[in-house]
Amino acid sequence: MNLFLVAAGAVVVAGGIACVTARRAAVVAIGAAILLGATPLLALPQPGLPVLAERAVGALLAGELLWVGLRGRTVAGASALGWPPMALLAAAAFGAGVGAQQLVPATGPPEALGVALALFTVAIVAVAGRSDGIHLGLSALVLIAATSVVRVAMSGPSSALETLLVSAVGAAAAAAVALLAPRLEADEAAGDVPTGAPPGSGVRP
């Protein structure tokens, strides 16, 4: 087992879990950026610098869009499960995915299939809880990342255009999530809501 791929996979899955379980907009945005930006690292042979740069730019754009769209607003629909059980489920799915590579002949590394299965698990478990629109959109983002990892696991490294397309789909989904967030009222835009929000309302600065 390639330890670098396992480590990269752990980072990707951690980003996915942060994306669907966090309540702070900043953590959601950083998690999404890590999730989308680190997936090309799961390929063998490692993609070239331009491809990694493409994905990094796309991931940063997606994170920025989420941050702009969600900051100061409610991220209250986070998963019913906390991050520890989610991480355990993802680890189990990772093991199953690595084992499944024995059944399905593929040209990619088995760790990638494990990560794909772990991300699918995270997305499905996340929507099984108390979802709202934003949370469903964030789960969709995890699914899109999982889909790109399936491609890596089955067919090996992506072409430059496909890398660009995955970045574009991720950024488009992040923009759509940002558009789902309710519009700020003028007084909220002035900044008086987050501090005055009642406890437990889910509003975070």
The answer to the question of residue 3 lying near other proteins (CB under 8 A) is no
What one-character DSSP code corresponds to residue 103?
Answer: T
Taking the CA of residue 92 as centre, how many other CA atoms within 13 Å lie in the half-sphere pointing to its CB? 7
The answer to the question of residue 33 lying near other proteins (CB under 8 A) is no
Of 42-61, binders to other proteins (CB under 8 A) are: 45, 47
Which residue is associated with the tokens 């480590």? Answer: 7
The answer to the question of residue 96 lying near other proteins (CB under 8 A) is no
Angstrom distance (rounded) from CA 176 to CA 136 = 11
The answer to the question of residue 154 lying near other proteins (CB under 8 A) is yes
Angstrom distance (rounded) from CA 11 to CA 28 = 14
The answer to the question of residue 134 lying near other proteins (CB under 8 A) is yes
Which of 105, 99, 75, 92 shows the shortest CA–CA distance to 13?
Answer: 92
The answer to the question of residue 129 lying near other proteins (CB under 8 A) is no
Residues lying near other proteins in the complex (CB under 8 A)? 45, 47, 72-74, 76, 104-107, 120, 123, 127, 131-137, 139-141, 143-144, 146-147, 150-151, 154-162, 164-166, 168-169, 172-173, 175-177, 179-185, 188, 193, 197-198, 201-203
